[in-house]
Amino acid sequence: MSKLWSPSVRELTPYVPGEQPREKLIKLNTNENPYPPAPGVERVLREFSPDHLRRYPDPTSSALRDSLAHALGTTADQVFAGNGSDEVLALAFQAFFRQERPLAMPDISYSFYPVYCRMYGIDSCTFPLNDDWSVDLDALASDSGGVIFANPNAPTGHGHGREAIAALLEKVTDRVVLVDEAYVDFGGESAVPLVERYPNLLVTGTFSKSRSLAGLRLGYAVGSPELIEGLIRVKDSFNSYPVDALASAVGIAALEDTDYFEATRQAVITTRERTRQRLAQLGFEVLPSQTNFVLATHPEHDAAQLFLGLRERGVLVRHFNTEALRHYLRISIGTDDEMDSLVEVLEILCR
Ligand SMILES: *Cc1c(COP(=O)(O)O)cnc(C)c1O
């Protein structure tokens, strides 16, 4: 704590990201994609002229937004691009959720949401998940200054279909509903087609997971031009150039290779189901998942101990030390070989 900090900075509770270890571990802790980005990405990196870096990038990211609009089946004026979806979320909190009434969210969801609430002085009201760990959409429809949740949700892996989101939007019409679709490509159903019908719906997405580009920092939002304009107002009051020239070119190359995208996301889904089966054989209870991770608990083995045992043997997973999650491990889906190594270690630890 430093006296040199602004008073408000002393009050912050920063997000704690999963560790990025320097030693060589099988890394199943931050939901990164085990496959490299599309081959076109390597071509862009090889051929990119350093001279392009002399100039500022396009402040409106129009080429990237065109490409996103094409991939998502929207128009470019319904798309906003930013420096990772965490940044897009931060801009959305400022643009839409600084309201008199508190922001409604599930009690178990992406832990960045409460961090932004504190940062921007936004009160929140949280609602428990249903018994099957699904987000309680009926509860989220109650009076609030806005609604946010991840769909599929993290770290539970449960996702609601588009019909359920539409039903929520029929009830909530006077405030923004933000659906964070960081994991939707691994088996969820996107709410993007609803954007045309509901001007208060904002959907965010990221290149970090299904596009294997977590190191690049690219994210986006899809919504009515009215909402996009709100985001642009905040962006242009903070950083006019969030997406750099290289990131834009790489992002476009990743979006263009639809075959590679299909193949890698299917591979993750197949490995996930295989992993769920193998964990179940070891006595784990594994929640169904529409994401690139699973949440698992073992009735006879303490999750914190399993986390440490795995780490000692070179496998890194995520353990959240909260009341609701401390009996669970969140395990990202890697390659089949990586998941075999995980299972081998768990066979020893669960003997
Ligand atoms: C990973 C993740 C993000 C952040 O993605 P970036 O684009 O890497 O910032 C946002 N929301 C959820 C739920 C995530 O899991």
CA of 283 to the centre of ligand 1 (A): 30
CA atoms within a 13 Å half-sphere pointing along the CA-CB vector of 180: 30
Instruction: Please report the atom of ligand 1 found closest to the CA of residue 89.
Output: 10
Instruction: Please report the atom of ligand 1 found closest to the CA of residue 207.
Output: 7
Q: What's the full length of the chain, in residues?
A: 351
Instruction: Please report the atom of ligand 1 found closest to the CA of residue 85.
Output: 7
239 and 293 inside one domain: no
Instruction: Please report the atom of ligand 1 found closest to the CA of residue 109.
Output: 13
CA of 92 to the centre of ligand 1 (A): 14
Which of 29, 86, 88, 289 is the pocket-test mutation for ligand 1 (most atoms within 8 Å of CB)? Answer: 86
In a domain, 1, yes or no: no
194 and 212 inside one domain: yes
CA atoms within a 13 Å half-sphere pointing along the CA-CB vector of 172: 27
238 and 322 inside one domain: no
How big is the CA angle at 201 (ends 199 and 202), to the nearest 5 degrees? Answer: 120
| Residue that terminates a domain, selected from 242, 257, 272 | 257
Token couple for 39: 């081959």
In a domain, 191, yes or no: yes
In a domain, 228, yes or no: yes
Token couple for 35: 């496959």
DSSP symbols for 243-310: S-HHHHHHHHHHHH-HHHHHHHHHHHHHHHHHHHHHHHHTT-EE---SSSEEEEEBTTB-HHHHHHHH
Q: Which amino acid is at 345?
A: V
Q: What is the pLDDT of residue 149?
A: 98
152 and 190 inside one domain: yes
- Which residue bears the tokens 């009996």? 327
In a domain, 214, yes or no: yes
Q: What is the pLDDT of residue 247?
A: 97
180 and 277 inside one domain: no
18 and 46 inside one domain: no
CA of 87 to the centre of ligand 1 (A): 9
62 and 157 inside one domain: yes
CA of 116 to the centre of ligand 1 (A): 13
In angstroms, the CA 331 to CA 30 distance is 9
Which of 206, 318, 320, 333 is the pocket-test mutation for ligand 1 (most atoms within 8 Å of CB)? Answer: 206
In the sheet that holds 285-286, the strands lie side by side as: 285-286, 293-297, 329-332
Which run of H or E residues covers position 80?
Answer: strand 79-82
Nearest to 331 by CA among 299, 301, 302, 303: 303
203 and 77 inside one domain: yes
pLDDT tens by residue, 60-82: 999 999 999 999 999 999 999 99
CATH code of residue 69 = 3.40.640.10
CA of 152 to the centre of ligand 1 (A): 12
| Residue that terminates a domain, selected from 228, 257, 286 | 257
Return the CA Rg of the chain: 20
The residues of the chain scoring below 70 in pLDDT are none
62 and 19 inside one domain: no
CATH code of residue 24 = 3.90.1150.10
Q: Based on the structure, what is the number of domains in the chain?
A: 2
Q: What is the pLDDT of residue 17?
A: 85
Binding-site residues, ligand 1, Cβ < 6 A: 84-86, 110, 150, 154, 180, 182, 206, 208, 214, 219
Residue nearest to atom 12 of ligand 1 (CA): 182
Residue nearest to atom 2 of ligand 1 (CA): 182
Residue 21's domain comprises 7-36+259-349
CA of 297 to the centre of ligand 1 (A): 24
| Residue that terminates a domain, selected from 257, 284, 316 | 257
CA of 219 to the centre of ligand 1 (A): 8
Neighbours of 249 (CB within 10 A): 20
In angstroms, the CA 18 to CA 40 distance is 29
141 and 90 inside one domain: yes
In a domain, 2, yes or no: no
Instruction: Please report the atom of ligand 1 found closest to the CA of residue 206.
Output: 7
334 and 231 inside one domain: no
136 and 113 inside one domain: yes
pLDDT tens by residue, 277-302: 999 999 999 999 999 999 999 999 99
In a domain, 146, yes or no: yes
Residue nearest to atom 15 of ligand 1 (CA): 182
Question: Is the whole-model pTM more than 0.95?
Answer: yes
Residue nearest to atom 11 of ligand 1 (CA): 182
Helix/strand/coil for 216: coil
In a domain, 281, yes or no: yes
Nearest to 320 by CA among 22, 29, 85: 29
